[in-house]
């Protein structure tokens, strides 16, 4: 009963006109930046983080929710119109979405995607509303050892689900952990890796790192790739999905919602896996699977619903455990920390207004997304037709000036440029920035909990295995770490004996990796 009361109070906060306005602004700006080719949700949120600085925490969080949903949908628009997925989770949307666009039905694809995203997101928020307090209650007993294990598993899963080389992703994660140690040590007061610089004494801020790696890194990379750009279609018609379209896709939307919600709770690339699983499920169920890839509306509805549902339900581990499940969530985590909100099991009980404010702002963000996306499709198409040569300096300058406004510090701007260069190089050399940022965000939490655990256990690492939850999590950690090794050794051994089977399987795996980039 009490929680119901809190839910209602949360709605009262969210529905204040100022907050609604900020949410609306968030959705529109999120879509505006998210629609720029090459900038996925993580980059969009990173670039727009400074915008949320000046406003009150609750309002800022509501605006962030708007930016989050807007950025997600922005990626869908580029998938359909330009076959440029903003992130891995809308890769499969490209197949049928772009096929529909070629048939002149881009509007249908975008409309169905918007409706599907809305339904999937809403289902997931309802699930979150009921599930999150339960998980948080369970996690209240977590002590330092559990958090240590949880953070380790979280980082490892994100790194292993990454596309491309897993070991490179782990290297990036480890470097992220190392960067997190820069600054004054909280336990001993010793200055670590500060090179006697005052600017580094308090550690490296999360925002310049994220803005550099995700934002400026992408922009620099696009400077080089732009000559490869594809041109946007002149005009998009039929934005409103017909009743027939909606009827055809309703099953896919329902299945995608459930699939996305459950897969999204799991750490790692929840949204990516669920969009692929939804596509596979739809194709399997279809009477005529050959339509897929040639403009089957279910092929857009299923994955788009699932990835939005998953993106929403991945807020559950963030809000209840304080562990972001993927790079986008790491950004939301950093953004919440800046607002003075520490996501974790205590948030529901100690700060119910904020907690339910965050949750309910997602309902509103979703509704506004639906309202804004369909009528604004024309505007976004026009933006896509603005030449990249003109858009590039605009996004770069917004990032630079935005970075300055965070702390009024030129050093922060310099950090953004440095991490922008690092992000560009990482991309060129096949390292993913996601695991680095996630590990960087979790670094101090991981270190302080590890050290507290060691103090608790009097320096003995076996102590972790005396507690059921941390023991289980560490076993999971070892399994996730060792399994790929065992597999590759077995594959190599199997290769000579099963000349036919092994290469095919390897190719499947390789295809999957390449395609999830």
Q: Which stretch binds other proteins (CB under 8 A): 10-18, 40-48, 190-198, 335-343?
A: 190-198
The DSSP bridge partners found for residue 183 are 192
Positions 21 through 50 that interact with other proteins (CB under 8 A):
none
Scan for tokens 């907050």, then name that residue.
Answer: 19
Our measurement of the distance from residue 26's CA atom to the centroid of its chain's CA atoms, rounded to an integer in Å, reads 17
Ramachandran area for residue 47 (φ above 0: left; ψ -120 to 50: alpha; else beta): alpha
388 contacts other proteins (rule: CB under 8 A): yes
- Report the C-alpha gap between 425 and 427 in whole angstroms: 5
**Spatial CA neighbour of 59 closest among 103, 8, 20, 117:** 20
Contact (Cβ atoms closer than 8 angstroms) between residue 105 and residue 424: no
Instruction: For the CB of residue 2, give the shortest distance to other proteins in the complex, in Å.
Output: 34
Positions 87 through 106 that interact with other proteins (CB under 8 A):
91-92, 94-95
**Cβ count within 10 A of residue 512:** 11
Pick the closer one to other proteins by CB: 185 or 248. 185
Q: Which stretch binds other proteins (CB under 8 A): 249-257, 318-326, 334-342, 409-417?
A: 409-417
Judged by CB under 8 A, which of 12, 21, 401, 486 binds other proteins? Answer: 401
201 contacts other proteins (rule: CB under 8 A): no
Phi, psi angles (nearest 5°) of residue 184? -75, 130
- Report the C-alpha gap between 434 and 53 in whole angstroms: 23
Contact (Cβ atoms closer than 8 angstroms) between residue 390 and residue 223: no
Q: Which stretch binds other proteins (CB under 8 A): 10-18, 186-194, 329-337, 358-366?
A: 186-194
- Report the C-alpha gap between 343 and 325 in whole angstroms: 13
Positions 228 through 247 that interact with other proteins (CB under 8 A):
228, 230
Residues 455-494: x where in contact with other proteins by CB under 8 A, - otherwise, as a string: x--xxxx--------------x--xx--------------
301 contacts other proteins (rule: CB under 8 A): no
147 contacts other proteins (rule: CB under 8 A): no
- Report the C-alpha gap between 374 and 134 in whole angstroms: 36
Judged by CB under 8 A, which of 128, 177, 213, 369 binds other proteins? Answer: 177
Pick the closer one to other proteins by CB: 247 or 487. 487
Pick the closer one to other proteins by CB: 367 or 480. 480
Pick the closer one to other proteins by CB: 247 or 492. 492
- Report the C-alpha gap between 399 and 403 in whole angstroms: 6
- Report the C-alpha gap between 279 and 273 in whole angstroms: 10
Q: Which stretch binds other proteins (CB under 8 A): 31-39, 118-126, 335-343, 507-515?
A: 507-515
**Spatial CA neighbour of 86 closest among 113, 111, 105:** 113
Length of the chain measured in residues? 517
Instruction: For the CB of residue 209, give the shortest distance to other proteins in the complex, in Å.
Output: 15
Pick the closer one to other proteins by CB: 288 or 458. 458
394 contacts other proteins (rule: CB under 8 A): yes
Judged by CB under 8 A, which of 134, 140, 167, 501 binds other proteins? Answer: 167
Pick the closer one to other proteins by CB: 6 or 79. 79
Positions 71 through 90 that interact with other proteins (CB under 8 A):
83
Q: Which stretch binds other proteins (CB under 8 A): 116-124, 135-143, 351-359, 404-412?
A: 404-412
Three-state DSSP at 187 gives coil
Positions 304 through 333 that interact with other proteins (CB under 8 A):
none
Positions 48 through 67 that interact with other proteins (CB under 8 A):
54
Instruction: For the CB of residue 143, give the shortest distance to other proteins in the complex, in Å.
Output: 17
- Report the C-alpha gap between 19 and 10 in whole angstroms: 12
Instruction: For the CB of residue 250, give the shortest distance to other proteins in the complex, in Å.
Output: 21
Instruction: For the CB of residue 349, give the shortest distance to other proteins in the complex, in Å.
Output: 30
Instruction: For the CB of residue 410, give the shortest distance to other proteins in the complex, in Å.
Output: 5
- Report the C-alpha gap between 475 and 463 in whole angstroms: 14
Contact (Cβ atoms closer than 8 angstroms) between residue 93 and residue 79: yes
- Report the C-alpha gap between 268 and 258 in whole angstroms: 18
Q: How far is CA 97 from CA 36, 109, 383, in A?
A: 18, 6, 19
Q: How many CA atoms lie within 13 A of 347 on its CB side?
A: 27
Judged by CB under 8 A, which of 242, 430, 489, 494 binds other proteins? Answer: 430
Instruction: For the CB of residue 124, give the shortest distance to other proteins in the complex, in Å.
Output: 16
Size of the site for other proteins (CB under 8 A): 96
Per DSSP bridges, beta strands 191-192 and 183-184 are antiparallel
- Report the C-alpha gap between 27 and 62 in whole angstroms: 10
Positions 246 through 285 that interact with other proteins (CB under 8 A):
263, 266, 268, 270, 273, 276-277, 279-281, 283-284
Instruction: For the CB of residue 132, give the shortest distance to other proteins in the complex, in Å.
Output: 20
Strands (E), 97-206: 183-184, 191-192
Instruction: For the CB of residue 280, give the shortest distance to other proteins in the complex, in Å.
Output: 4
Q: Which stretch binds other proteins (CB under 8 A): 34-42, 167-175, 327-335, 494-502?
A: 167-175
């Amino acid at each position: 009963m009490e929680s119901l009361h809190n839910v209602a109070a949360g709605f009262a906060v969210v529905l204040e006109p100022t907050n609604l306005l900020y949410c609306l602004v968030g959705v529109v700006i999120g879509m505006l930046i998210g629609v720029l080719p090459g900038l996925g949700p993580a980059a969009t949120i990173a670039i727009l983080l400074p915008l949320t600085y000046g406003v009150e925490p609750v309002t800022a969080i509501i605006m962030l929710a708007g930016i989050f949903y807007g950025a997600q949908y922005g990626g869908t628009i580029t998938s359909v119109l330009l076959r440029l997925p903003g992130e891995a989770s809308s890769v499969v949307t490209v197949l049928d979405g772009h096929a529909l666009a070629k048939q002149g039905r881009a509007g249908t694809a975008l409309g169905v995607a918007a409706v599907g995203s809305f339904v999937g997101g809403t289902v997931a928020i309802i699930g979150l509303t009921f599930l999150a307090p339960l998980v948080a209650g369970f996690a209240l007993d977590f002590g330092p050892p559990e958090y240590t294990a949880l953070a380790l598993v979280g980082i490892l899963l994100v790194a292993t689900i990454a596309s491309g080389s897993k070991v490179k992703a782990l290297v990036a994660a480890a470097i992220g952990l190392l960067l997190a140690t820069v600054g004054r040590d909280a336990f001993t007061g010793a200055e670590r890796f500060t090179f006697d610089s005052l600017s580094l004494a308090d550690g490296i801020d999360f925002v310049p790192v994220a803005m550099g790696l995700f934002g400026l890194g992408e922009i620099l990379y696009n400077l080089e790739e732009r000559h490869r750009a594809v041109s946007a279609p002149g005009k998009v018609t039929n934005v409103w999905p017909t009743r027939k379209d909606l009827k055809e896709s309703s099953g896919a939307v329902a299945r995608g919602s459930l699939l996305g919600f459950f897969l999204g709770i799991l750490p790692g690339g929840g949204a990516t896996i669920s969009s692929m699983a939804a596509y596979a499920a739809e194709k399997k169920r279809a009477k005529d699977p050959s339509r897929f890839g040639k403009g089957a509306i279910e092929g857009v509805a299923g994955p788009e619903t699932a990835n939005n549902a998953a993106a929403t339900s991945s807020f559950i581990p963030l809000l209840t455990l304080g562990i972001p499940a993927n790079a986008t969530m790491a950004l939301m985590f950093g953004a919440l920390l800046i607002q003075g909100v520490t996501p974790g099991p205590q948030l529901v009980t100690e700060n119910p207004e904020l907690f339910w404010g965050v949750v309910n702002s997602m309902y509103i963000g979703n509704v506004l997304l639906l309202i804004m996306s369909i009528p604004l499709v024309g505007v976004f198409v026009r933006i896509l037709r603005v030449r990249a040569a003109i858009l590039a300096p605009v996004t770069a300058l917004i990032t630079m000036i935005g970075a300055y406004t965070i702390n009024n510090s030129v050093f922060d701007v310099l950090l953004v440029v440095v991490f922008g260069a690092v992000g560009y190089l990482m991309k060129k050399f096949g390292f993913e920035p996601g695991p680095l940022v996630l590990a960087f965000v979790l670094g101090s939490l991981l270190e302080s909990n590890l050290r507290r655990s060691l103090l608790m256990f009097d320096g003995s690492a076996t102590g972790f295995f005396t507690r059921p939850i941390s023991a289980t999590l560490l076993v999971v950690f070892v399994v996730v770490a060792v399994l790929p090794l065992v597999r590759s050794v077995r594959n190599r051994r199997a290769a000579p004996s099963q000349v036919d089977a092994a290469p095919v399987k390897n190719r499947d795996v390789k295809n999957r990796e390449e395609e999830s980039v």
